[in-house]
């Protein structure tokens, strides 16, 4: 089974998507808090007006019930405001984690991702896709046919291209030399067999 190798390109792209989501969430929480705060101001004004209203004994029960309802609505809004503030704080923490992760990826890979143009980043994405395709070929075709463990094929794929090419060339030369030696030995055995028959 092929192993999973998250690349720096893939990790960077994932973090960028997470940052986009966190920023969108922050904006949504900001709007939510503004809306709730405005609703609280309106409800508080209504409550103050209710408290200063003069009502007859006949309307007292309805008046008190409306005031109680306002108190409950204000309490619900205050609870919603606290929740929105907590969600905003969570989004800020998550955003910081993603930004720290991007800094770590850039430092670890040595690739200045934030400075890359869209075309340059696409080149890296294409290279990553080709690498994944190579891994699937290694796991499903090359390793079974050669009888070589998948991890050894993958280790070869992970090497820098110039080093990988050098090893492949050396392997080809060794195999060619080995095949030539086998052919020479085979011809020698055949000649000895012919000479012995004479």
Sorted by where each begins, the domain ranges of the chain are 1-115
Instruction: Please give the pLDDT value at position 60.
Output: 86
The answer on pLDDT for 82 being more than 90 is yes
Instruction: Please give the pLDDT value at position 178.
Output: 45
CA 173 to chain centre: 42
Question: 14-18, 113-117, 140-144: which has the minimum mean pLDDT?
Answer: 140-144
C-alpha span between 72 and 111 (Å, rounded): 55
Which one, of 96, 89, 124, lies nearest residue 11 by Cα?
Answer: 124
The answer on pLDDT for 190 being more than 60 is no
C-alpha span between 128 and 14 (Å, rounded): 14
The answer on pLDDT for 78 being more than 60 is yes
Residue-wise pLDDT tens digits, 63-74: 889 899 999 999
Tokens of 90: 């969570």
- Cβ neighbours of residue 98 under 8 Å, at least 6 residues apart? 15, 18, 19, 22
Most confident segment among 7-21, 68-82, 102-116, 165-179? 68-82
**Burial, 105: exposed, middle or buried (Cβ in 10 Å; 0-12, 13-18, 19+)?**
buried
Instruction: Please give the pLDDT value at position 58.
Output: 85
C-alpha span between 120 and 11 (Å, rounded): 16
| Per-residue pLDDT band at 50 (split at 50, 70, 90) | confident
> Are the CB atoms for 9 and 125 separated by under 8 Å?
yes
C-alpha span between 106 and 134 (Å, rounded): 25
Tokens of 183: 């052919």
């Amino acid at each position: 089974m092929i192993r999973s190798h998250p690349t720096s390109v893939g990790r960077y792209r994932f973090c960028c998507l997470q940052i986009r989501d966190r920023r969108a969430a922050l904006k949504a929480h900001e709007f939510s808090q503004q809306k709730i705060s405005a609703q609280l101001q309106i409800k508080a004004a209504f409550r103050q007006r209710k408290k200063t209203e003069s009502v007859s004994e006949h309307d007292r029960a309805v008046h008190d019930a409306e005031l109680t309802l306002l108190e409950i609505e204000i309490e619900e809004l205050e609870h919603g405001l606290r929740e929105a503030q907590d969600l905003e704080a969570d989004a800020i923490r998550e955003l910081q984690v993603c930004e720290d992760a991007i800094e770590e990826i850039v430092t670890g890979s040595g690739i200045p991702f934030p400075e890359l143009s869209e075309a340059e980043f696409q080149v890296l994405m294409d290279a990553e896709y080709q690498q994944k395709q190579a891994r699937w070929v290694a796991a499903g075709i090359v390793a079974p046919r050669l009888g070589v463990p998948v991890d050894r094929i993958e280790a070869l794929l992970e090497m820098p291209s110039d080093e990988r090419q050098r090893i492949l060339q050396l392997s080809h030369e060794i195999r060619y030399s080995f095949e030539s030696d086998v052919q020479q030995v085979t011809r020698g055995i055949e000649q000895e067999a012919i000479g012995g028959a004479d």
